[in-house]
Structure formats: C-alpha cells, structure tokens
Homo-oligomer: A and B are copies of this chain.
Amino acid sequence: MTENSKIAEHISELPLIDHHVHGTLIPDLSRSEFESFLTESSEPIPPWMTQFDSQVGFAVRKYCAPHFDLPEHADADTYWAARARWGSDEIARRLLRTSGISESIVDTGVIETEHSKPSLTTLEEFGTLSAQRVHEVVRLETLLESLADAGVEADALEHAFDAALAAAATTAVGFKSIIAYRYGFDFDPARPHSDEFTAAAQEWLASASAGSFRVSHPVLLRALLWKAVSTGLPVQLHAGFGDADIDLERCNPLLLTPWLRLLPADYSDVMLLHCYPYHREAGYLAQVFSRVYFDVGLAINYSGAASDRVIAESLELAPFSKVLFSTDAWGLPELHSIGAALWRRGMTRVLSHLVNDGDWSLTDAKRVASMTGRDNAHRVYRLPNS
C-alpha cells in the first residue's frame, strides 16, 4: 500500500464530527427552490443560468449522483429527474448516512431567507434521518427574539435572557452569534452594563413592528456575545462570506482583535466559522489567541473542486489543534454529503503531497487529519465518548 493510499484510507475511515451544521428541509422541493439553496444569493435566478453551473453544483453532480444510481457528473437535468423521484426523507437518508459523519453539532436557530421561513428538521429528526449522534448549538439572537415574541418587556428582558441562556447551557454544547450578519465585527468591544442592555432593549422593542422581532441593535448583540462567552461553553461566530445581507469587509475576523484581548482567561473558546476569504487572518488569530479556533466549512462547499487550495491555506499559521471540520450544510442533504466528501478529498490531497514530498511523515499526516476531522471538536465541545 502506497503512502498516498494509506492517507486516503485513514481519512476515508475517519468518523467525522461536523462542528457546525444545520438541519435539512422537510418539504419536497421544486427545481427552482432546490437551486436557490445552491447559492448564497437571495435574488431570483436569471433565466439564462442555472446554479448547477458553479463549483458547488458540479460537486453535487459528482458526489451525489451515484447515490441516485447515476454516474458521476450526470448532467443537471438527469440529476434532478433522478432525485425528484424520491421524497425528502429518503433523499436525506441516502445522502446523510453515507457521509461518514458520525456526530453533528447542529445550529437550531432559524435561518431567514427570501422564501417563507423554511421548514427544517428538528435536532431529533436530523439525528434519526442521519443516524448520527447529534448535539445542539443555540443561537443567541434567536433566543432573545423568542423572548420578545413571547411578550417579555424591555425591563425584564435581560433577566429573562440570562435565565434562558442558563437553561440552554444545561443541554447545548455551545452557542452561536450572528453579530457579523446583524451588525459586523467592528463593535465596541467593552461588555455592556445592565442599564445599557435595558436601554437598548427599549429602543429595540419600540422600533420593532409587532410580531417581527429581529435584533440588530449592536448593544444587544454584543451583550449576548459577552453573556455567552461567560458560560464557558464554546461560542461560534459566523465570520467571512455569507449572503448579500452582510458587509463582507466588516466580517473580517481581525476586527474581533480588541474584543478577543478583553476576554478573561477562563471564558469560552471562540469558534470562527467559514472565514473565507479571511481564513489566513483566522489562522493568525488561532495562533496568537489560545482560545481561538476556526474552520473553512462553508467555503469548502462553495469552492467545490477548488477547495483543496482553501484547505491548504487553512493549514498555514494555525496550530493543528485549532482547525476544525464543518460542512455548514443547511437545507439540502446534498450539502452535507459534499461537505464531507470535499473535506476528505482536499485533506487527502494536501496531506499526500506533504508526505510524498518528504515534508511530513505519514504518522503526522494521519494524526493531523484525525485532529482536524474529529479530535479537536471532541475536546473543545467536551463531547461524551461513544
């Protein structure tokens, strides 16, 4: 067995922990609905194009077609016709159970889209469909908004949030902040006082239209973040690219530097998600701040066959104990499937080159694959042993 094939075998047999992922869609989809989940764009797909003509679309055709008894690279129409023969449950089972992901840490916050609120599997449903062990990450903004929805008033909101956070911490393995989406990382790094929280809550609730509580007040967003990192549970932060709502240059994780400097030593680990095109910057932060971790999850799916370069770039400055695997898949089980397949493919290529060129030993390459694919997540999120 050559060293290449030993690396490939090791990685193909590694049960992955997907440290940031979402559920799959419950309803059956039309083709245009399906294609709208192959892009971060929320604009209508122009008639002269198909979202299949992209790296993510090509990856779906390569990796998922065989799960519908088609050859790799089956064309988009053929793929769609084969997939459309099945219900969403069967599609999810075929794609999720063959991914080689053994555990998933699922963000259960609702993602807003141009479409009506999508109907996603619950944590339990996702666990059943995927036959994976599942863990929950609770989204901070959703938690606050649910309290406002329930009629909690401004002067009671902080206390109610603290209680809800404490309750969530008894079952969740971590929290997630989307301050990058709702504001940007250029927020005042200082921890807000209670009176600032309540004043901000008053402003927010007064300005929100009834029944539509979407928090974007920077004081509230950063107060939530501070509260989350004081729990000691890992806190995920969306960083880098996403949809057209973000100002991408304000999602550069370097802008978190002043805030990271303020965190007390016994506070939570900070998990930077995706980070592209700022993954080199994330690698720097992961080197100099012992509590910073990162992945390039979403970027792997969207760069498809080009993701080996992104993966290689994620292995420059950061210690190997600080890099994690995720798919950030949501909605389409195709995204869970290709996320795992592309990570395995990219890591196999990057590590095979290093070993073949004599730069790394085979033992080290296998060890780094295990660390990033599984062991780091297991340690940071303090997951139970299987």
Residue of B nearest to A315 (CB): B306
Structural contact, A359 and B62, CB atoms closer than 8 A: yes
Residues of B within 8 A of A257 (CB): 244, 247-248
Structural contact, A40 and B254, CB atoms closer than 8 A: no
**Please, how many angstroms separate the alpha-carbon atoms of A309 and B315 in the complex?**
12
Structural contact, B317 and A241, CB atoms closer than 8 A: yes
Residue of B nearest to A322 (CB): B49
Residues of B within 8 A of A53 (CB): 319-321, 368, 371
Q: Does A325 contact B (CB under 8 A)?
A: no
**Please, how many angstroms separate the alpha-carbon atoms of A249 and B278 in the complex?**
11
Q: Which residues in window 312-333 of A have CB below 8 A to B?
A: 312-313, 315-321
Chain A 164-191 interface 0/1 with B at a Cβ cutoff of 8 Å (1 = within): 0000000000000000000000000000
Structural contact, B55 and A305, CB atoms closer than 8 A: no
Residue of B nearest to A75 (CB): B363
Residues of B within 8 A of A247 (CB): 254, 257-258
Q: Does A226 contact B (CB under 8 A)?
A: no
**Please, how many angstroms separate the alpha-carbon atoms of A289 and B317 in the complex?**
29
Residues of B within 8 A of A363 (CB): 73
Residues of B within 8 A of A72 (CB): 358, 361
Q: Give which listed residue, B44, B284, B359, contacts A305 with CB less than 8 A.
A: B359
**Please, how many angstroms separate the alpha-carbon atoms of A277 and B284 in the complex?**
9
**Please, how many angstroms separate the alpha-carbon atoms of A299 and B73 in the complex?**
32
Structural contact, B290 and A302, CB atoms closer than 8 A: no
Question: How often does this chain occur in the complex, in copies?
Answer: 3
Given A54-B319, A55-B315, A248-B254, CB of A290 within 8 Å of CB of B46: yes
Q: Does A288 contact B (CB under 8 A)?
A: yes
Structural contact, B58 and A359, CB atoms closer than 8 A: yes
**Please, how many angstroms separate the alpha-carbon atoms of A306 and B299 in the complex?**
19
Residue of B nearest to A302 (CB): B317
Q: Does A132 contact B (CB under 8 A)?
A: no
In the assembled complex, the CB of A49 is this many whole angstroms from the nearest CB of chain B, namely 4
**Please, how many angstroms separate the alpha-carbon atoms of A306 and B317 in the complex?**
9
Residues of B within 8 A of A55 (CB): 315-317
Q: Give which listed residue, B244, B280, B303, contacts A317 with CB less than 8 A.
A: B303
Using a CB–CB distance below 8 Å, which chain A residues touch chain B?
39-46, 48-49, 51, 53-55, 58, 62, 72-73, 241, 243-244, 247-249, 252, 254-255, 257-258, 260-261, 276-277, 280-281, 284, 287-290, 299, 302-306, 309-310, 312-313, 315-321, 354, 357-361, 363-364, 368, 371, 379
User: Would you list 8 pairs from A and B whose C-beta atoms are within 8 A, ordered by A residue?
Assistant: A42-B288, A53-B321, A53-B371, A54-B320, A241-B284, A244-B260, A248-B284, A305-B354
Other A-B contacts than A53-B371, A287-B302, A306-B313, 5 sampled, CB-CB below 8 A, are A54-B287, A247-B257, A248-B254, A249-B254, A305-B357
